[in-house]
Amino acid sequence: MTSQAEQKQTNPHDEWTQEWVVTEAEAGERLDKFVAESAEEGVSRTQVQEWIRTGAVTVNGATVKPNYRLEPGDVVAVTPPEPEDADIRPEPIPLHVVYEDGDVIVVDKPRGMVVHPAHGHASGTLVNALLHHCRDLSGINGRLRPGIVHRIDKDTSGLLMAAKNDLAHVSLSEQLKAHTVERAYIALVHGNLPHDQGTIDAPIGRDPHDRKKFAVTAGGKPSVTHFAVLERFGDYTLVRLQLETGRTHQIRVHMKYIGHPLAGDPVYGRAKTLPLDGQALHAVVLGFVHPRTGEALRFESPIPDDFQRILDMLRNR
């Protein structure tokens, strides 16, 4: 399962930049309207107009006016500025710390926890918890995302690393960019996969029919997921997935693309599924080179109880 579509990447090293390639169907739309309907934060059109005026929004790398009419192939990029009055407070939220030293911390994030604050959502996140626990996170990604090097979705559980200083942040980010970080997931998907193992090599970008979602699309960025079947339940399959790239919603989009969406996925899954609050996806392995010592570190996380109960139910039915 491969795609040879040519890729267009703007700001490839900026994880926080949102980017879209304008389709024929979207041509003629005003820039401010387009961004307001597309941005993950769900901001107002007035706020988007302010972003455009301050240069946070570009079209083909240049600033334009809010009423600019989009043309097919235009690349719209948005790097939302952090609110000037951002006040992200430390909160005594329990953390399952797997590893910690003066440079890095690895935590086992529960399903349901948001990784970092966004506009209008400044509490109850992993960052709030980390600020209370560490008080010395890297500031490279700004006040809303201190120490955060990579993300996993709110309803995905499992291992996540954060940097406690800028040296660690740069090193971990470079390892992610070079695809040398080991990231493995366990997922329960619908259907019976026809192959015991395989690779999904298909570019991921904004869904042309719903810009709040992602999809396999010719205008997307290179995305590679390796899978291996662990257990079959007839109408469900337990798989282990290895990420070669780390696009937003990559596993969820790729599994839907091959006709086996994740059980419990509220966005890309099926209406009738198993009783699980969120997608059955767990980040089970995280491995990287320590940014200061050069030591190879590798951590594993057990499947959480609610996920395990689903598996036990399938085995005993």
Residues designated as active site: 153
Q: CB of 139 within 8 A of CB of 145?
A: no
Residues counted in the chain: 317
Provide the CB-side half-sphere exposure for 61 (13 A, CA): 5
Determine which helix (DSSP H) or strand (DSSP E) holds 162, and give its type and residue range: strand 157-163
E strand spans, 13-155: 18-21, 57-59, 75-78, 97-100, 104-109
C-alpha of 244 from chain center: 14
Amino acid at 56: A
